[in-house]
Amino acid sequence: MNRAKGDRTRAQIIEGALRALSATGVLGVTTRRIAAESGVQLATLHYHFDSKSSLLLAVLDSMIDEMKRERRDEVKTSKDLDDCIQQVLHSTWSWIMRTRVLQIVQYELTLYALREGANWLAERQYDAYVQIYDDLLRRAPNGDDELADDERKAVAHFMLAGIDGLILQELAKPNRARSKRCVDALILATQGYARSLKERRARVAPPRRSPRRAAPAAAGRGEAPAPEVDSPEGA
């Protein structure tokens, strides 16, 4: 099997696995069901993935990459940092509501990765989400309210933590009106947190040194100025 064809078959199996997971969940899915959903023989599936675990982890990895591609195009030009935060969180929640089933699959796969000892993949997923928020916040115009790198990363973590809680709440007890109010509250909280980080930086920043003034002339202190000494000839 040449590499290009192998890559296409692998992608086909991952897509079939995602459809099967969306229908049955992690606990109910089998490699036979995934092979049928993918339109390949079971032997072909096992040729590309030596176990169900390796296939499910590949699905999670693929979902992370797809989410990164989609989210980065959703935030347009913003007028300031507050506007940027509002756009990012509104667009994020809109995307989440469009992909409710995928959100469930993603949580299932994250927990599966942790149970299978693939903590690195769960960490990679979390880091990828934080980086997306970080990248989107960079689109805020530069100016007096610009965040430092560590501040922007802290705000990205804050946003992700808030969104994660809202997703679980909406999945467990759907109520779109309540969730919209919570998203608006998260926007205000994030804007306030960003301002507090900048204010703290301003408080701890070392004071600017004023320009050093020239020492007053000696004559001004009642002392005779130092005599000028001619340079020796030929020096």
Q: What one-letter code names the amino acid at 154?
A: A
SS3 for the chain, per residue? CCHHHHHHHHHHHHHHHHHHHHHHHHHHCCHHHHHHHHCCCHHHHHHHCCCHHHHHHHHHHHHHHHHHHHHCCCCCCCCCHHHHHHHHHHHHHHHHHHCHHHHHHHHHHHHHHHHCCCHHHHHHHHHHHHHHHHHHHCCCCCCCCCCCHHHHHHHHHHHHHHHHHHHHHHHHCCCHHHHHHHHHHHHHHHHHHHHHHHHHHHHHCCCCCCCCCCCCCHHHHCCCCCCCCCCCCCC
Same domain for 41 and 75: no
Same domain for 104 and 4: no
Q: What is the pLDDT of residue 228?
A: 54
Work out how many domains the chain is built from and give that number: 2
Same domain for 157 and 74: yes
Same domain for 37 and 4: yes
Same domain for 33 and 83: no
CA distances from 84 to 142, 154, 234 (A): 12, 15, 71
Q: What is the pLDDT of residue 166?
A: 97
Same domain for 175 and 94: yes
Same domain for 186 and 94: yes
Per the domain annotation, does 138 fall within a domain?
Answer: yes
- Provide the token pair at 185: 């509250």
Same domain for 138 and 32: no
Among candidate residues 112, 118, 126, the one with its CA nearest the CA of residue 26:
112
Q: Is the Cβ–Cβ distance between 157 and 96 less than 8 Å? A: no
Per the domain annotation, does 113 fall within a domain?
Answer: yes
Whichever domain contains 37, its CATH number is 1.10.10.60
Confidence band for 169, pLDDT divided at 50, 70 and 90: very high
Q: What is the pLDDT of residue 206?
A: 67
Same domain for 43 and 89: no
Confidence band for 2, pLDDT divided at 50, 70 and 90: confident
Same domain for 141 and 36: no
Same domain for 116 and 38: no
Per the domain annotation, does 213 fall within a domain?
Answer: no
Q: How much is the pTM? A: 0.77
Q: What is the pLDDT of residue 34?
A: 96
Q: Domain of 5?
A: 1-50
pLDDT in tens, 88-117: 999 999 999 999 998 999 898 889 889 888
pLDDT in tens, 217-233: 554 555 555 555 454 44
Task: Kindly compute the dihedral angle of the four CA atoms of residues 57, 62, 68, 71, in this order, to the nearest 10 degrees.
Answer: -110
Instruction: State the average pLDDT over residues 4-22.
Output: 92
State the residue for tokens 């756009």.
87
Same domain for 63 and 46: no
When mean pLDDT is compared across 31-40, 60-69, 165-174, 204-213, the lowest value belongs to: 204-213
